């Protein structure tokens, strides 16, 4: 290990001083931070998953710099460093803060100022807490912790002369996603969600099969691969084709409602009603179990990370005053401590933010703990597989139990408990991305302190747009349960789960029978050697989300067979890059559609304001009925064929 560290030579020598933290790099990185931050808000609310943005940003940065003038590899690295901060902070925000909408008194805090402040504090804590860990995790364990996305991103930067061809795939994906969603969601040539509903008299009463045939979900499915996509789809099949029909069969004969529902009979419920009253608690139990099991599996990693980190801090103090090389300079530890203390005070004194001194202390303690865990885990399995949900659930459960211990069981403490979990979640998510970025910088020879400052800039810039985007989507499309005004809202599955955990624990009325049943299902899956967290997330999501993910994984499986590859395609393969374009393009178009829905001109026949989208949407898919479903499936198959074509392209020598 020590020899590997000593023998390693970065691409740019520590003795070379070339342009790095330049104005053009900061501006371009900030632009990508805003763009991918907004796209991640949409994707996270829709599917409860996010995808690392570092590699597509690095590819795009190289191509843009080639067009506008010469730039160094270190400038391109700063661009992806700043840009990736927007994606990671947005992921932590959408996993938690929409839960304010579902908590008693929480909606009062679901405002721009509160979202901005909480995202800012969590994002900066994630960077600051990672600073003292860099040497032990990135440098000393260079031969042991692979940091897959960080290493792949370094490969992209080093192979910068290929940037034009690499970026071309991302741009094609963006263009195809724009065109597809323009025709489907804006003009309305086919249905967005083809659905097959089994009637009550059938063999699967209230069962349903549906697919949200969007380019972003197809792209996510391709990137996570057939195994994870298949496991998630299996969870969806269990909920929507097994449990809901079973509850319907046994419940239709009941004269009254079945607890925990108090008013409506099962005979009067549709699939969505049964999911909301029963299945979501089963799913919450399954996700909780899967998240905690994932966390327990990493306990040896947690212990070793803390041991090595504190050992390295002692060595750093012993070598104080020694002049470090350019590639070894971090933000001074005193700034980290002072910055953390300032944020602690801010959390306590800021008006209209649901925090107090105890919750602020819990944020610091849990935050540093899970930042260490997150930074180590992503070194082994990558950012996309980082069990942020499990860490957040563990934080919320511990916080809620502490609150109960001091007598804080009223509804007023629900938002305070959520804020603890949300800031810890944002910090852990950003720390994972920070680790990957610092690994990239270590390989290419970047200056750590400049990367760390770039990450803070990325947080500052992206949080400006994250709150605006979330509020726009909540106002125009809706978040959470369907209403008359928002019949097809973004489900925000992770945030809904967080609210369920907090309300159940603090109000002490959680339907434990259903929750424990979900835990039992996840335990069975785990004992079968299957990733219970992926299965549980699939069980908790609408099946319409899992099916296009499965389609993307299926395209990946076919591409691997055609390419005759026994190993996974790299993150810079043509299919992965085209999928990154599909994800970014589809998510950006989702925000454009929200803007069109929220912008009004004139009134309709009933005298209500008419959205701009209504002028553009001809509604052909809806008017065709089942024909619109068929047309949508044909369009989605063609989109999959285009992805397969790119994934199997042979690069010319």
pLDDT-derived band of residue 285, with 50, 70 and 90 as boundaries? Answer: confident
Most confident of 39-48, 181-190, 481-490: 181-190
Which residue did the predictor score with more confidence, 521 or 174?
A: 521
| Lowest-confidence region among 13-27, 483-497, 557-571, 590-604 | 557-571
Confidence check: pLDDT of 259 > 80: yes
pLDDT on residue 244: 94
One DSSP character per residue, 177-191 reads HHHHHIIIIIS-SS-
pLDDT band at 306, cuts 50/70/90?
low
* Of residues 327 and 244, more confidently modeled: 244
Quick check: 37 pLDDT over 80? yes
Q: Confidence class of residue 368 from pLDDT cuts 50, 70 and 90?
A: confident
Higher confidence at residue 347 or residue 508?
347
Cis peptide before 260 (omega within 30 of 0): yes
CB count within 10 Å of CB 318 equals 8
Query: What is the model's pLDDT at position 558?
Result: 94
Q: Confidence band (pLDDT; 50, 70, 90) for 653?
A: very low
Q: Give residues with Cβ within 8 angstroms of 272, minimum separation 6.
A: 482
The answer, yes or no, to whether residue 646 has pLDDT greater than 50, is: yes
If one compares 69 and 543, the residue with the highest pLDDT of the two is: 543
Q: Which pLDDT score is estimated for 422? A: 93
Of the candidates 431, 496, 426, 428, the one whose C-alpha atom is nearest the C-alpha of residue 117 is 426
Enter the tokens of residue 169: 């795939």
Closest by CA position to 545, among listed 44, 98, 31, 35 = 44
pLDDT of residue 273: 86
**Predicted local distance difference test score (pLDDT) of residue 93:** 92
Task: Please indicate whether residue 590 or residue 99 has the higher confidence score (pLDDT).
Answer: 99
Q: Find out whether 621 and 191 touch, Cβ atoms under 8 Å.
A: yes
Q: Is 252 a residue whose pLDDT tops 50?
A: yes
* pLDDT, mean of residues 68-85: 90
Task: List own/partner pairs for 349-352 with CB under 8 A and 24 or more apart.
Answer: 350/117, 352/109, 352/111, 352/113, 352/114
317 pLDDT higher than 70: no
How deeply is 252 buried, as exposed, middle or buried, from its count of CB atoms within 10 A (0-12, 13-18, 19+)?
middle
Model pLDDT, residue 242: 94
Q: Which helix (H) or strand (E) holds 34?
A: helix 23-47
Mean pLDDT of 422-449: 91
pLDDT digits (tens, 9 = 90+) for 593-607: 888 887 878 877 777
Q: What is the pLDDT of residue 637?
A: 96
Between 399 and 381, the higher pLDDT residue: 399
pLDDT of residue 116: 94
Confidence of residue 312 (pLDDT cuts 50, 70, 90): low
pLDDT value of residue 57: 86
CA 275 – CA 411 distance, rounded (Å): 25
Decide if pLDDT at 94 tops 80: yes
* Mean local confidence (pLDDT), 395-421: 88
Rounded average pLDDT over 52-78: 85
Q: Does pLDDT of 305 surpass 80?
A: no
The model's confidence at residue 580, banded by pLDDT at 50, 70 and 90, is confident
Residue among 52, 40, 430 nearest 224 (CA):
52
Least confident of 248-262, 295-309, 405-419, 477-491: 295-309
Is residue 2 scored above 50 in pLDDT?
no
Chain segment 101-119, per-residue pLDDT in tens = 888 778 888 999 999 999 9
pLDDT attached to residue 180: 95
Rounded Cα–Cα distance for residues 15 and 7 (Å) = 16
Most confident of 46-55, 295-304, 538-547, 566-575: 538-547
pLDDT of residue 135: 80
Q: Say yes or no to pLDDT of 300 above 90.
A: no
């Amino acid at each position: 290990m020590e020899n590997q560290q000593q023998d390693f030579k970065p691409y740019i020598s520590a003795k070379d001083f070339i342009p790095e933290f330049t104005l053009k790099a900061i501006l371009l990185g900030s632009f990508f931070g805003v763009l991918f931050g907004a796209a991640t808000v949409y994707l996270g609310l829709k599917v409860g998953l996010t995808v690392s943005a570092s590699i597509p940003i690095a590819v795009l940065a190289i191509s843009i710099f080639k067009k506008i003038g010469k730039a160094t590899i270190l400038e391109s690295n700063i661009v992806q460093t700043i840009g990736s901060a927007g994606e990671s902070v947005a992921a932590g925000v959408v996993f938690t803060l929409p839960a304010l909408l579902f908590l008693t008194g929480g909606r009062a805090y679901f405002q721009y100022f509160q979202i901005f402040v909480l995202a800012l504090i969590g994002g900066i804590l994630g960077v600051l807490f990672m600073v003292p860990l860099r040497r032990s995790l990135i440098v000393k364990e260079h031969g042991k912790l692979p940091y897959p996305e960080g290493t792949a991103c370094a490969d992209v930067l080093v192979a910068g002369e290929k940037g034009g061809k690499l970026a071309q795939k991302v741009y094609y994906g963006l263009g195809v996603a724009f065109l597809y969603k323009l025709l489907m969601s804006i003009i309305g040539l086919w249905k967005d969600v083809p659905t097959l509903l089994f009637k009550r008299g059938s063999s699967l009463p209230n069962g349903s099969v549906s697919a949200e045939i969007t380019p972003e979900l197809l792209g996510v499915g391709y990137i996570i691969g057939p195994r994870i996509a298949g496991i998630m789809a299996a969870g969806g099949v269990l909920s929507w084709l097994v449990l809901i029909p079973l509850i319907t069969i046994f419940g239709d004969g009941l004269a009254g409602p079945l607890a925990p529902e108090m008013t409506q009979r099962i005979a009067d419920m549709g699939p969505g009603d049964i999911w909301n009253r029963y299945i979501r608690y089963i799913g919450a139990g399954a996700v909780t179990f899967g998240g905690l099991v994932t966390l327990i599996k990493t306990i040896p990693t947690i212990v070793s990370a803390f041991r090595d980190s504190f050992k390295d801090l002692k060595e750093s103090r012993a070598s104080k005053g020694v002049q470090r090389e350019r590639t070894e300079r971090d933000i001074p530890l005193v700034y980290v401590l002072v910055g953390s203390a300032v944020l602690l005070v801010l959390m306590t004194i800021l008006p209209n933010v649901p925090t107090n001194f105890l919750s602020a202390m819990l944020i610091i303690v849990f935050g540093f703990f899970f930042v260490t865990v997150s930074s180590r885990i992503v070194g082994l399995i990558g950012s996309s597989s980082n069990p942020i949900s499990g860490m957040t659930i563990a934080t919320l459960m511990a916080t809620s139990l502490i609150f109960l211990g001091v007598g804080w069981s009223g509804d007023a403490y629900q938002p305070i408990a959520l804020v603890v979990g949300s800031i810890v979640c944002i910090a852990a998510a950003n720390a994972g991305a920070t680790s990957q970025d610092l690994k990239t910088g270590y390989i290419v020879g970047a200056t750590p302190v400049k990367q760390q400052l770039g990450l803070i800039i990325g947080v500052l810039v992206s949080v400006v747009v994250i709150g605006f985007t979330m509020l726009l989507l909540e106002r125009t499309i809706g978040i959470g349960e369907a209403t008359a005004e928002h019949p097809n809202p973004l489900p925000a599955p992770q945030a809904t789960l967080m609210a369920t955990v907090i309300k159940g624990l603090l109000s002490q009325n959680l339907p434990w029978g259903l929750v424990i049943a979900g835990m039992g299902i996840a335990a069975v899956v785990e004992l079968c050697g299957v990733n219970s967290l992926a299965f549980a997330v699939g069980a908790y999501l609408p099946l319409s989300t899992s099916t296009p993910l499965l389609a993307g994984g299926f395209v990946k499986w076919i591409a691997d067979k055609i390419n005759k590859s026994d190993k996974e395609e790299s993150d810079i393969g043509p299919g992965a890059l085209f999928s990154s374009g599909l994800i970014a393009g589809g998510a950006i178009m989702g925000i454009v559609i929200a803007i069109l829905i929220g912008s009004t001109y004139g009134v309709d026949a009933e005298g209500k304001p008419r959205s701009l989208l209504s002028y553009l949407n001809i509604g052909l898919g809806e008017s065709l009925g089942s024909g619109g479903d068929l047309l949508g499936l044909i369009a989605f198959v063609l989109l999959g064929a285009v992805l397969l074509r790119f994934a199997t392209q042979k690069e010319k020598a």
